[in-house]
């Protein structure tokens, strides 16, 4: 099958080609897929896309006109694809539901420890020959209260790691896990979680319900000095309100692997450009903010799993098998 792979980087090529074994004709494009770039999909049965490709109704309409019959996401989240439009145009959508929940959960922990022990600052200091400890005082995780929003695959692993640190773990998720409760996780309301937690980790998807879930209202309720870690999706936090909360000192630390306006920034080398985003420029100046550009998933193990599942999804479609990883609108 001819597949147009969008937003492709050197590592996508390397891993996908290794697992493809010449089964499909993969053509790699650097371009992001959106309504301005759909012409590249002409003549392809499938497009393979990632988190910042933008498949709105117009893009999907054009894909259908170009003969595309399958959208293969190389990620778990599918908030960037208008699923009702795809269904209406009879284009199937498949994804990689789990590639390495450990990778993302461990990255969230890396952000916590870097911020809590100021590792990012120490690293720069030592490189300049400054071995002073002034202003590097951190805090222990032991006996802190960690609030986990979303206890799916990633959130559950994150809960277990934090229990291992000796933290009290509170969780909010419309679907509670008995297994986690047995391990000591305490489910509560979202309001109770934000009022009690010293560290809040966002591990939920971006949905209409979670869009700007953390806004001024919530920042007003958190404890002074709370740390927030977002490895879910950028728009779960209202960035402008987070900046205000950082300025006032109410929000003590912010670790972000995802960012509301990441689409035009992340995964690119802009080191020789003027960054066209005032909010990220402001965030970069705060000493208590640590940003990584959506690299939570980025481990060797996860890249192998993404490539293997994506190739399987393409082959299942081509050979008419049941699409195990199909994304569909929930029928009520
Ligand atoms: P999952 O589907 O296993 O779990 C998501 C959980 O969030 C579910 O238990 C669901 O009930 C819960 N949830 C839904 N709405 C909620 C709400 N309003 N409040 C609280 N919880 C809610 O998904 P998984 O694999 O754990 O991934 C979670 C999210 O992490 C993904 O949707 C994606 O946005 C993000 N992600 C980020 C990556 C990165 O590299 N930073 C990589 C992979 C995923």
CA distance 162 to 174: 21
Q: What is the pTM of this model?
A: 0.92
203 C-alpha to center of ligand 1: Å?
5
Residue 168, CA atoms < 13 Å, CB-side half-sphere: 11
**How much distance in Å is there from the Cα of 144 to the middle of ligand 1?**
23
Q: Looking at residue 331, what is its pLDDT? A: 54
**Cα distance from N-terminal residue to C-terminal residue, the chain:** 34
Query: Are 103 and 296 spatial neighbours (Cβ–Cβ below 8 Å)?
Result: yes
Q: Does residue 294 line the site of ligand 1, with CB under 6 A?
A: yes
Active site residue 233: yes
Catalytic site residue from 107, 233, 260, 305? 233
Q: Give every CB contact of residue 102 below 8 A, 6+ residues apart in sequence.
A: 157, 301
Question: Which of 51, 74, 76 should be mutated for ligand 1, with most atoms under 8 A from CB?
Answer: 76
Q: Residue 172: CB within 6 Å of ligand 1?
A: yes
CATH class as words, domain 101-291: alpha beta
Mutate to test the pocket of ligand 1, among 147, 205, 298 (most ligand atoms within 8 A of CB): 205
The domain ranges of the chain are 2-99+300-318, 101-291
Would you say the CB of residue 154 lies under 6 angstroms from ligand 1?
yes
Q: What is the pLDDT of residue 332?
A: 42
Separation of 2 CA from ligand 1 center, angstroms?
A: 31
Task: pLDDT tens for the chain, 332 residues: list them.
Answer: 999 999 999 999 999 999 999 999 999 999 999 999 999 999 999 999 999 999 999 999 999 999 999 999 999 889 999 999 999 999 999 999 988 999 999 999 999 999 999 999 999 999 999 999 999 999 999 999 999 999 999 999 999 999 999 999 999 999 999 999 999 999 999 999 999 999 999 999 999 999 999 999 999 999 999 999 999 999 999 999 999 999 999 999 999 999 999 988 999 899 999 999 999 999 999 999 999 999 999 999 999 999 999 999 999 999 999 999 999 986 54
> Are 70 and 94 a contacting pair, CB within 8 Å?
yes
| Catalytic-residue membership of 107 | no
Report the largest interatomic distance among the alpha carbons of the chain, rounded to a whole angstrom: 64
Question: Would you state the structure tokens that stand for residue 170, as one six-digit string?
Answer: 């509170």
pLDDT of residue 263: 87
Find the 162 Cα to ligand 1 centroid distance in Å: 17
Q: Residues 6 or more apart from 77 whose CB is under 8 A from it?
A: 51, 205, 206, 233
69 tagged catalytic: no
Which residue among the candidates 294, 300, 304, 321 is catalytic per the annotation? 294
Q: Whole-angstrom Cα distance, residue 159 to residue 108?
A: 11
Q: Is domain 2-99+300-318 annotated with CATH 3.40.50.720?
A: yes
What is d(CA 112, CA 183) in angstroms, rounded to the nearest whole number?
22
Angle at alpha carbon of residue 67, lines to 62 and 73, rounded to 5°: 75
Nearest CA to ligand 1 atom 23: 152
Q: Is the Cβ atom of 97 under 6 angstroms away from ligand 1? A: no
Residue with tokens 């609030």: 147
């Amino acid at each position: 099958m001819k597949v147009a792979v969008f937003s492709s980087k050197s590592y996508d090529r390397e891993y996908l080609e290794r697992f493809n074994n010449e089964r499909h004709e993969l053509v790699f494009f650097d371009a992001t897929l959106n309504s301005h770039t759909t012409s590249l999909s002409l003549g392809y049965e499938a497009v393979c896309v990632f988190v910042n490709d933008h498949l709105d109704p117009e893009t999907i309409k054009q894909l259908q006109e170009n003969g595309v019959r399958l959208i293969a996401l190389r990620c778990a989240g599918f908030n960037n694809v208008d699923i009702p439009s795809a269904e209406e145009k009879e284009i199937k959508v498949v994804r990689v539901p789990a590639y390495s929940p450990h990778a993302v959960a461990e990255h969230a922990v890396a952000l916590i420890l870097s911020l809590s022990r100021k590792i990012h600052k120490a690293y720069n200091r030592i490189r300049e020959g400054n071995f002073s400890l002034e202003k590097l005082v951190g805090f222990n995780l032991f006996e802190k209260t960690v609030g986990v929003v979303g206890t799916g695959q990633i959130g559950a692993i994150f809960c277990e790691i934090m229990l291992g640190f000796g933290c009290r773990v509170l969780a909010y998720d419309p679907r509670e896990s008995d297994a986690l409760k047995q391990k000591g996780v305490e489910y509560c309301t979202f309001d109770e979680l934000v009022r009690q937690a010293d560290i809040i980790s966002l591990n939920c998807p971006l949905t209409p319900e979670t869009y700007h879930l953390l806004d001024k209202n919530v920042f007003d309720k958190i404890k002074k000095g709370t740390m927030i870690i977002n490895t879910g999706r950028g728009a779960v936090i209202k960035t402008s309100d987070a900046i205000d909360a950082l300025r006032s000192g109410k929000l003590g630390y912010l670790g972000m692997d995802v960012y509301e306006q990441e689409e035009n920034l992340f995964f690119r080398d802009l080191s020789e450009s003027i960054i066209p985003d005032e909010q990220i420029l402001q965030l970069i100046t705060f000493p208590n903010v640590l940003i990584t550009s959506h690299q939570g998933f980025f481990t060797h193990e996860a890249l192998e799993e993404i490539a293997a599942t994506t190739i399987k999804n393409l082959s299942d479609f081509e050979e008419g098998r049941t699409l195990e990883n199909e994304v569909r609108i929930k029928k009520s």
